[in-house]
Amino acid sequence: MKINSNYKNLPESYLFSKIAKKVEEYTALHPQAQIIRMGIGDVTLPICEKAAAAFVKAAAEQGKAETFHGYGPEQGYDFLRNTICAYYESIGVHTAASDIFISDGAKSDLGNILDLFDQDNTVLIPDPVYPVYLDTNIMAGRKIVFLDANVDNGFLPLPPQGQRADIIYLCSPNNPTGGVYNRKQLKEWVDFANEQDAVILFDAAYESFILDNSLPRSIFEIEGAKTCAVEFCSLSKLASFTGTRCGYTVISEELMRGGMSVRKMWLRRQTTKFNGVSYPVQRAAEAAFSPEGLRECRKHLDVYQENAGIITDTLTSLGIWHVGGKNSPYVWMQCPDGMKSWEFFDDLLDKAHVVGTPGSGFGKNGEGFFRLTAFGTKANTAEAMERIRMVYGR
């Protein structure tokens, strides 16, 4: 018996456990310290009332023979896929319900899609990066080429001339940097992928944070994307579904590789290995996309967005270089006084009692940077920024 020895090549995922351990040690020594956590990558406000009510109603339906639902359609119920089509239509993107696949979240789909592609592909991954893209490809033993995201390109790298790539990961608005590609930049990526016969795996999990109408919320807003891109999206950040679980993946009929329809391959993969998302969750998701549901979601997003504004205003006034926080819940800042990421983590915890995420945990280009998130309360965010002003203002 041989195990998948690629797992030996996985880096130890110690980032969040190391943070937890350091905070625990600090609070043990300083029980009085009022710690403010700005490292959270999870939403804190609840799912909207409309979705919660639909969830309860559908759960009750499951308890009665007349309204019971067994296995649902593998791609998801029509009611939800049609709702998502309408959501796309509202941003000017035309999709067919048959191109939409409902899942239990974007993370699973981002990992599972790799089933469709040969091991012998070159994968282009930005650095710093959401670790899922990297680890899933290490597990599969693929050749990985890193793409430098840095101050010079505003943490939004463009296609590397002369570099071949088969699979390309893009995340916009980006986790961890909060950077958002504009249309012209995404068009460069789409053209690059079409020329090379590559596939772009586009993570749009934070699309709902885009308020600036000139910025694309879907890669399918870009001409030519349907022949080269797969889009992954989720209700996790839009509608606080991180603990409820619902996402969707969009693949156009036009996406063909190696003489095969990628959409048909994904359908085959899902019908073989996945049995769908629970009926109550899909009803809750449908309700979240209703006009009333979306209005409620927007109120929650506004809270995070206001927090992000408090963070970026403070950093700007302190003269600290940063990106993100405009159309994103993440702010990516340069550590003050040339500190390294973990050095700043310790300094910030000790002097301001604020916890964030060291950028070096997301890749080598993250060294010297730090991620703050806007998912806390307004009061805590304002208090944390006041402390940062006291400690690092000069």
Ligand X SMILES: *Cc1c(COP(=O)(O)O)cnc(C)c1O
Per CB under 6 A, 170 contacts ligand X: no
Per CB under 6 A, 147 contacts ligand X: no
Per CB under 6 A, 300 contacts ligand X: no
Q: Which stretch binds ligand X (CB under 6 A): 235-243, 301-309, 341-349, 374-382?
A: 235-243
**159 vs 247, beta carbon nearer ligand X:** 247
Per CB under 6 A, 308 contacts ligand X: no
The interaxial angle of helices 291-317 and 49-61, nearest 10 deg, is: 140
Is residue 37 annotated as involved in ligand binding?
no
Q: Which residues contact 221 (CB under 8 A, 6 or more apart)?
A: 91, 92, 93, 183, 186
Is residue 169 annotated as involved in ligand binding?
no
Least separation in angstroms between CB 343 and ligand X: 25
The answer to whether the beta carbons of residues 248 and 288 sit under 8 Å apart is: no
**247 vs 336, beta carbon nearer ligand X:** 247
Query: 116-145 mask for ligand X (x: CB under 6 A)?
Result: --------------x---------------
Q: Which stretch binds ligand X (CB under 6 A): 28-36, 85-93, 177-185, 236-244?
A: 236-244
Is residue 130 annotated as involved in ligand binding?
yes
Is residue 106 annotated as involved in ligand binding?
yes
Is residue 234 annotated as involved in ligand binding?
yes
Q: Residue from 185, 218, 234, 360 that binds ligand X (CB under 6 A)?
A: 234
Q: Map residue 71 onto helix, strand or coil.
A: coil
Q: Nearest-CA neighbor of 43 among 210, 243, 183, 192? A: 243
Per CB under 6 A, 106 contacts ligand X: yes
User: Could you please report the per-residue DSSP string of 143-208?
Assistant: EEEEEE--TTTTT-----TT---SEEEEESS-TTT-----HHHHHHHHHHHHHHT-EEEEE-TTGG
Per CB under 6 A, 288 contacts ligand X: no
- DSSP category for residue 366: G
Q: Which residues contact 161 (CB under 8 A, 6 or more apart)?
A: none
Strand-pair category, 100-103 with 247-251:
antiparallel
Least separation in angstroms between CB 176 and ligand X: 8
User: Could you please report the per-residue DSSP string of 256-298?
Assistant: EETTEEHHHHHHHHHHHH-----HHHHHHHHHHTSHHHHHHHH
Least separation in angstroms between CB 42 and ligand X: 8
**105 vs 159, beta carbon nearer ligand X:** 105
User: Could you please report the per-residue DSSP string of 84-147?
Assistant: HHHHHHHTT----GGGEEEES-HHHHHHHGGGGS-SS-EEEEEES--HHHHHHHHHTT-EEEEE
Segment 175 to 194, residues that bind ligand X, using CB under 6 A? 175
Query: 191-230 mask for ligand X (x: CB under 6 A)?
Result: ------------x-x-------------------------
Q: Residue from 81, 85, 88, 105 that binds ligand X (CB under 6 A)?
A: 105
Per CB under 6 A, 361 contacts ligand X: no
Is residue 4 annotated as involved in ligand binding?
no
Q: Nearest-CA neighbor of 204 among 173, 177, 229? A: 173
Q: Residue of minimal CB distance from ligand X?
A: 105
CA dihedral 150, 154, 157, 161 (to 10 degrees): -90
| Positions at the binding site | 14, 41, 71, 106-107, 130, 175, 206, 234-236, 245, 275, 371
Residues that bind ligand X (CB under 6 A): 105-107, 130, 171, 175, 203, 205, 234, 236-237, 242, 247
